């Protein structure tokens, strides 16, 4: 029986399916549900590299855009959960998605971590495919990988 579920959301169709699965399990198990969106700063050298450092304004503009997108995704997630009659707690982190997801799952004491098998675009599929692999390899909880 699962008591605490964490689902990773990125705004992709697979992520929405992962959320649907997490909502169904949370309802069936009467478990608490948490969602996390990770602003993947490591995928953008402008945010992590000191070589040929761009002006601070360009770096901040990109980070602000990624943060706003994360806020939009989490607001959508809250809306989907509310429509399903499930209470959800949302979290936004920055950094490596796999490490952030597994760290939060551990911190929450999650029994189940739900992730999509890949992300939005071809490049994101590589990154998020590696994220689902990372989570499966490093999580201390049961992991559900939702395929498209």
Helix (H) or strand (E) holding 33: strand 32-39
* CA 31/CA 145 separation, integer angstroms: 18
Domain that holds residue 138: 4-146
Which tens digits make up the pLDDT trace of 114-148?
Answer: 999 975 444 444 444 688 999 999 999 999 999 97
Most confident option among 50-54, 60-64, 71-75, 121-125? 71-75
Cβ atoms of residues 6 and 104 within 8 Å: yes
Which tens digits make up the pLDDT trace of 1-42?
Answer: 899 999 999 999 999 999 999 999 999 999 999 999 999 876
In the chain, the number of structural domains is 1
Give me the helices (H) in 56-140, please: 56-83, 97-108, 122-138
Its pTM surpasses 0.75:
yes
> pLDDT above 70 covers what percent of the chain?
83
Radius of gyration of the chain (CA): 15
The CATH number given to whatever domain includes residue 40 is 3.40.50.620
User: Per this entry, what is the length of the chain?
Assistant: 148
Least confident segment among 37-41, 59-63, 104-108, 111-115: 59-63
The residues near 42 (Cβ < 8 Å, ≥ 6 apart) are: 48, 95, 96
């Amino acid at each position: 029986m699962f008591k605490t579920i964490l689902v990773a959301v990125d705004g992709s169709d697979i992520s929405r399916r992962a959320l649907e699965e997490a909502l169904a399990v949370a309802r069936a198990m009467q478990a608490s549900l948490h969602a996390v969106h990770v602003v993947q700063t490591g995928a953008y050298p402008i945010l992590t590299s000191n070589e040929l450092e761009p002006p601070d304004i360009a770096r901040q503009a990109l980070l602000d855009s990624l943060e706003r997108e994360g806020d939009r995704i989490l607001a959508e997630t809250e809306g989907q959960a509310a429509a399903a009659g499930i209470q959800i707690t949302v979290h936004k982190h920055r950094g490596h998605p796999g490490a952030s997801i597994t760290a939060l799952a551990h911190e929450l004491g999650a029994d189940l971590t739900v992730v999509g098998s890949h992300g939005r675009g071809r490049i994101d599929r590589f990154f998020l495919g590696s994220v689902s692999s990372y989570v499966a390899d490093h999580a201390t909880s049961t992991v559900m990988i939702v395929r498209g």
